[in-house]
Amino acid sequence: MSYLEATNDLYKEAALTPDVGLCCTTNPIWELPGLKIPKIMQEMNYGCGSTVHARDLANNPKMLYVGVGGGMELLQFSYFNRQKNGVMGVDVVDEMLEASRKNFKEAEAQNDWFKSEFVDLKKGDAMNLPVEDNSIDVAAQNCLFNIFKADDLKKAIAEMYRVLKPHGRLVMSDPTCEQPMNDELRNDDRLRALCLSGSLPIADYVKALTDAGFGTIEIRARKPYRILDPKHYPTDDLIYIESIEVAAIKDPMPADGPCIFTGKAAIYYGDDDYFDDKLGHVLLKNQPLAVCDKTAGALASLGRDDIFISKSTFHYDGGGCC
């Protein structure tokens, strides 16, 4: 059985018998006025972090969500969208599609603003999406891509890139890990499917996105996730896994390379009112400006004693250079 078949089996079981905390963290549930998340959706929260960010959702974007799980994030996206077929949900596991369909009925009973028809569920594979080219404004996946091995991850990212409109965004949350993992962990299909042993270092994760052509990357959050310890897992070392929230934007690739925001800021604290690098970045005195890593490097290389560049905070919430 391939690791993809093992993954499908695991999520078939998780659809038939909801398993709280099966694979991922129990992230705080979005609390919004008038939004009720049915208990069953909370029990089937198989994601880490959140892919639902209000600032991505202005102007009724056409949305796609791959790997629906119990449907909680699709309901949250629908909260902002509220249109027939406003959010397309794709999953390869029939039982998961069926379970989420039932959960949307329950959500409809608990939320007077929600109708099941807001969500358009489709059977399909992340590596071969049943979606037209250049048709989506906001695509999302939560805790699916980390399961994929390198070639499949490449295909899944290329598919998201294909279906997004120019400047559309892919919003994701996945576990990441900066430590090496041994082959026994890497090749354990169940641990991989449980989002425990497929995760990449952040730099490799980002490179997979920029290699696919995404010109802007935002790392929005980085959080502690899990421990793989020698007592419970086949590892000699204690392994610390984190999770990140990332947006990859289908902006054209800049000639000098991608703009990657890792939560750095530049602060000018000199004698003038502002500092202008004449390359499009104006630093107002004593006002932090969010900068991508490229701009941070360029400003640092000026060697000035009146510009401070912060380290990566891995918290980026918009604005700034580029």
Ligand X SMILES: C[S@@+](CC[C@H](N)C(=O)[O-])C[C@H]1O[C@@H](n2cnc3c(N)ncnc32)[C@H](O)[C@@H]1O
- Which residues of this protein are in contact with ligand X, per CB under 6 A? 7, 11, 23, 45-47, 66-70, 73, 90-93, 96, 125-126, 142-144, 195
In three-state form (DSSP H/G/I as H, E/B as E, the rest C), the secondary structure along 272-283 is CCEEECCCCCEE
Nearest to 126 by CA among 99, 101, 163: 163
C-beta closer to ligand X: residue 121 or 299: 121
DSSP 51-85: ---GGG-TT---EEEES-TTSHHHHHHHHHH-STT
Shortest gap between Cβ of 28 and ligand X (angstroms)?
14
Residue found by looking up tokens 């990449």 in the block: 200
Shortest gap between Cβ of 259 and ligand X (angstroms)?
27
Q: 308: buried, middle or exposed (CB in 10 Å: 19+, 13-18, 0-12)? A: middle
Shortest gap between Cβ of 104 and ligand X (angstroms)?
14
Shortest gap between Cβ of 224 and ligand X (angstroms)?
18
Which residue of this chain has its Cβ atom nearest to ligand X in the complex? 47
On whether the CB atoms of residues 196 and 229 are closer than 8 A, the answer is no
C-beta closer to ligand X: residue 130 or 230: 130
Distance CA 28, CA 160 (A): 27
Shortest gap between Cβ of 158 and ligand X (angstroms)?
14
C-beta closer to ligand X: residue 70 or 215: 70
C-beta closer to ligand X: residue 120 or 277: 120
Shortest gap between Cβ of 36 and ligand X (angstroms)?
17
Q: Is 256 left (phi over 0), alpha (psi -120 to 50) or beta?
A: alpha
Shortest gap between Cβ of 185 and ligand X (angstroms)?
18
Other Cβ atoms closer than 10 A to 142: 30
C-beta closer to ligand X: residue 126 or 181: 126
Q: Which DSSP symbol is given to 285?
A: B
On whether the CB atoms of residues 81 and 61 are closer than 8 A, the answer is yes
Q: Which DSSP symbol is given to 151?
A: H
C-beta closer to ligand X: residue 97 or 266: 97
C-beta closer to ligand X: residue 56 or 73: 73
